[in-house]
Structure 1
Amino acid sequence: MDVAVVSGRQVLVDGELRPATLLVEDGRIAEIRPYDADAGGWQAPEASYVLPGVVDTHVHVNEPGRTEWEGFVTATRAAALGGVTTLVDMPLNSLPPTTTVEALELKRAAATDELAIDVGFWGGAVPDNLGRLAPLWEAGVLGFKCFLAPSGVDEFPPLDAVQLKAALAEVAALDGLLIVHAEDAGELERAPHPPSPAYADFVLSRPDAAETEAIRQLVDGARETGCRVHVLHLASARALDLIKSARDEGLPLTVETCPHYLCFAAEQIPDASPQFKCCPPIRDEGNRTALWQGLTDGLIDAIVSDHSPATAEVKLAGGGDLQQAWGGVAGLQVGFTAVAHEARDRGIGIADVSRWMSRQTADLVGFTRKGRIEVGADADLAVYDPTTELVVDVDRLAHRNPISAYDGRTFRGSVTHTTSRGRLLDPDRPDHTWGRMLRREAP
């Protein structure tokens, strides 16, 4: 259902919640007026917050090639149910990976008429395409992802130290963005990694030093080349001092973390529970508290899902041996609700959560009409009711495979309605021809 007017008692405008009525024309916010319950159109429930739709810039859709892990239909429906109105698809785990223009066009063809929300695409930087990234940039990818250690799939190999410097220089020349899985291969190789179901052993196999050493390399590279660098899924708070120093120096470094690092602690995770396995790993309670402090201090810019599901065969491989299980947490549909719940327990308001998950993620990729409620912005909205309890049942989540670390968790609050460019999405029968494929916006 298309809406022309949305009214609410608590609408997030300019970082503050206030009564407002939004007039929508051609899918965009045309005017923001004082609240008027008699304005017609759609009225948000009394206790609810009307927020910018979530912009999730870190999602593994995996289609084409591994659609049995996740596909555009299931991923975008799960996103919409969780208040996500824009997502950006990662370049790996699909076959082929998005490392050439031809692969990007295959990806776009696979996504045609399968999108309930708007979707953009990252490109990949791997050893074989260095020196040839410009065509992907010109084709509209939002930036380039690389690994500094094995990615888990052979078709997307990591960059070594020399190749990383070359990638930084090449992306800097494009005025682009390099986003990096920041774990150092050498530190990982030196860590113990015996077969084990113990979560504590898995954490030892991915030590804090792997993150801090990789981020140190990125800081040095940003200083040398001027390239904009983004640290993906920060798990180790021990890197925050290094990040602060880089920021104080004025280096173009941004950082994200994920709901699972903010909502779980290693000592609470049962052994032989691969639904919690991700790389870098979920660390201890003190680390979790420090990550929240990093957000409030402005050292961490954004929160994204890093939704990375897989089939039961792959996710549960090894019969409980966490070294063999696929690493990735499926949390696209519940990530915003989980973070809002945890933030409230820490005295952090919904405006900050929205800023970390909507405005600052949109700004990261240059989507100037996403992640905000203002005149001219797309009418992408998430309606969040803080009084409605959500009990997560993995069998009722919309992503393809029913495995998730959030199964059984209870959250205070839930997303009740989502609009995409002025269309109120039907949670049971979303229109998968509605979503657009987004390209990099011209400066």
Structure 2
Amino acid sequence: MRVDAVQARRVLVDDAFVPATITLHRGTVASIEPFEHDAEGLVLRAPDSAYVVPGIVDTHVHINEPGRTEWEGFVSATEAAALGGATTLVDMPLNSIPPTTTLAGLRAKQAAASGELMVDVGFWGGAVPGNLGDLEPLWEAGVFGYKCFLSPSGVDEFPPLAPDEFLLALKEVARLDALMIVHAEDAAVLDAAPAAPSRSYRDFVRSRPDGAEVAAITQVLDGARETGARVHVLHLSSARALDAIAAARDEGLPVTVETCPHYLCFAAETIPDAAPQFKCCPPIRDSGNREELWSALRAGIIDAVVSDHSPATAAEKQKGDGDLQQAWGGVSGLQVGFSAVAQEARRRGIGLAQVSRWMSRNTADLVGLTRKGRIAPGADADLAIYDTGVDFRIEATRLAHRNPISAYDGLRYGGRITRSVVRGNAIDVERPDHGWGQQLLRP
């Protein structure tokens, strides 16, 4: 239903929570008034235990449609997003068939998404061997940048870039004033690591060592220095790379960095063996590493927190009967990430306003969506109501994700998203309605 105002005792405005009434007009924020303001029309009133924050802007989501829609799809992914407070997604270019590495691949994505969206969705392009000439047409068609891998992606249709190919792609990215986002694990370091079949999570971590991230991130920073291209390090797992990133920032290199809820919430020593729901690449590391990531977020070395929602079917996740080298890698966390990070932040004395900045404004700014990720006059009326008076007991079978597999299954959080508003449309969680989400193009 379309609402005309949202009223709450705690509304995030300019990094502070204040009592306010947000008036809306044609899908945008018209004004921010005092709480006592007598708004006209349909008013959505949040309970006193709730906080109103900007809708989450999740710039790292694998929706997988078309081609692998049985893993996830636009209907299930955008419903999960809405139920978790994410009002804007940017979809990754791989795991769908065809991948978004050509203009035809982008058009296939857009056709599949038509009429299926509950939230707004944009698209990344892909940089792979042989598609250098496709980058400019994709940019002109409105992708938000390009993703590449420096080691095998796991799917044959999206191969990694060799060092010389990566440098050529960065030169083109710089020419277009575009953005290259990088899965930064070094192929040679991974090849040298022990990777025998094993059900042991400790063995899996050894097969994806810190050195793979450090070497690849060094390559990314060197490439940015040589070409001037803007680069973004995806899903940083290893704190061992933080010193190099901080030095690059001090040098003035155009680099941004993200991490993910699963790296901030879990620790390797507590993950059971033969539990593929926790497998992701790069891996979840130990608790000391986790705390260093939190410190880097506080210090501004890491800019953003995104889900890296990477689902698969039960058959893919359980491949190998517990052998973590065979199971598909990826954590499904789109619907629960904000609640998880908010609680872990609260344990560390970090306020909800900072969590919102990492997951909404900073991600929106990364992709140039300056009307998203903030509550201000003229911004899109994308809002999430987070209620600390409501517990969130996570049951994988009750999440909107297409496949009921989640590392968060069985956990309980003291707070959950109870309502999302997408451009003024308040989503009814009992009767979700698709079709009002829009496809986004780069501004």
TM-score range, shorter chain: over 0.9
Asked if the contact 1:131–1:170 (Cα under 8 Å) also holds between the matched residues in 2, the reply is: no
Q: Give the C-alpha shift of residue 93 in structure 1.
A: 0.1
Is residue 129–residue 160 contact of structure 2 (8 Å, CA) maintained in 1? yes
Aligned residue number for residue 438 of structure 2: 436
Q: Alignment partner of 1:20: what SS?
A: strand
Q: Which residue in 1 is equivalent to 2:257?
A: 255
1:16 paired residue number? 16
Paired letter, 1:3: V
SS of residue in 2 equivalent to 1:359: helix
8 A Cα contact 2:101 2:134, kept in partner = no
User: What displacement does 1:44 show?
Assistant: 1.1
CA distance in 2, matches of 1:247, 1:318: 42
Match of 2:318 in 1: 316
Give the Cα–Cα distance (whole angstroms) in 1 for the partners of residues 397 and 416 of structure 2: 17
Q: Which runs of 4+ in 1 moved over 6 A?
A: none
Which secondary structure state, in structure 1, belongs to the residue aligned with residue 22 of structure 2?
strand
Q: CA deviation at 1:431?
A: 2.1
Retained in 1: the 8 A contact 2:190–2:208? yes
Q: Report the Cα offset of residue 37 of structure 1.
A: 6.3
Q: Map 1:187-226 onto structure 2 (within 5 A).
A: 187-226=189-228
Number of corresponding residues? 441
Unaligned runs of 5+ in 2: none
Residues 55 and 362 in structure 1, CA contact (< 8 A), matched pair in contact too: yes
TM alignment of 1:63-102, pairs within 5 A: 63-102=65-104
Distance 1:5 1:285 in 2: 43
CA distance in 2, matches of 1:136, 1:269: 40
User: What letter corresponds to residue 346 of structure 1 in structure 2?
Assistant: R
Is this contact kept in 1: 2:11–2:17, CA < 8 A?
A: yes
Deviation string for 1:174-204 (max 9, x for gaps)?
0000000000000000000000000000000
Tell me, in whole angstroms, the C-alpha distance in 2 between the residues paired with 1:313 and 1:39: 52
TM normalised by structure 1 equals 0.99
Map Cα deviations across residues 337-376 of structure 1 (whole Å, 9 max, x no partner). Answer: 0000100000000000000000000000000100000010
In the TM superposition, what are the counterparts of 1:384-399 in structure 2 within 5 Å? 384-399=386-401
User: What residue is the counterpart of 2:278 in the other structure?
Assistant: 276
Deviations 1:232-287 (A, max 9, x none): 00000011100000000010000000000000000000000000000000000000
How far apart are residue 104 of structure 1 and its match? 0.4
Q: Give distance in 1, aligned partners of 2:341 and 2:272.
A: 21
SS of equivalent to 1:19: strand
For residues 417 and 275 of structure 1, the distance between their equivalents in structure 2, rounded to whole angstroms, comes to: 27
For residues 268 and 42 of structure 1, what CA distance do their matches in structure 2 show? 41
- Three-state SS of the structure 2 residue aligned to 1:131 is helix
Measure, in 2, the Cα distance between the counterparts of 1:58 and 1:124: 13
1:222 to partner: Cα distance: 0.6
| 1:163-178 superposed matches below 5 A | 163-178=165-180
Q: Is 1:4 paired with 2:4?
A: yes
CA distance in 1, matches of 2:211, 2:163: 17
Q: In the alignment, what sits opposite 1:128? A: 130
Amino acid at match of 2:280: C
Is the contact made by 1:267 and 1:284 (CA closer than 8 Å) also made in structure 2? yes
- CA displacement 1:41-86 (0-9 Å, x = unmatched): 1211111100000000000000000000000000000000000000
The letter for the 1-side match of 2:14 is: D
SS at match of 2:69: coil
In the TM superposition, residue 39 of structure 1 has moved relative to its aligned partner by 3.2
Counterpart in the other structure of 2:353:
351
Letter in 2 for 1:264: F
Instruction: Tell me, in whole angstroms, the C-alpha distance in 2 between the residues paired with 1:165 and 1:388.
Output: 50
Deviation of 1:321 (Å):
0.2
Read off the aligned partner of 2:11 and give its amino acid letter: V
Distance, in Å, in 2 between the alignment partners of 1:272 and 1:96 is: 32
TM-score normalised to structure 2 length: 0.99
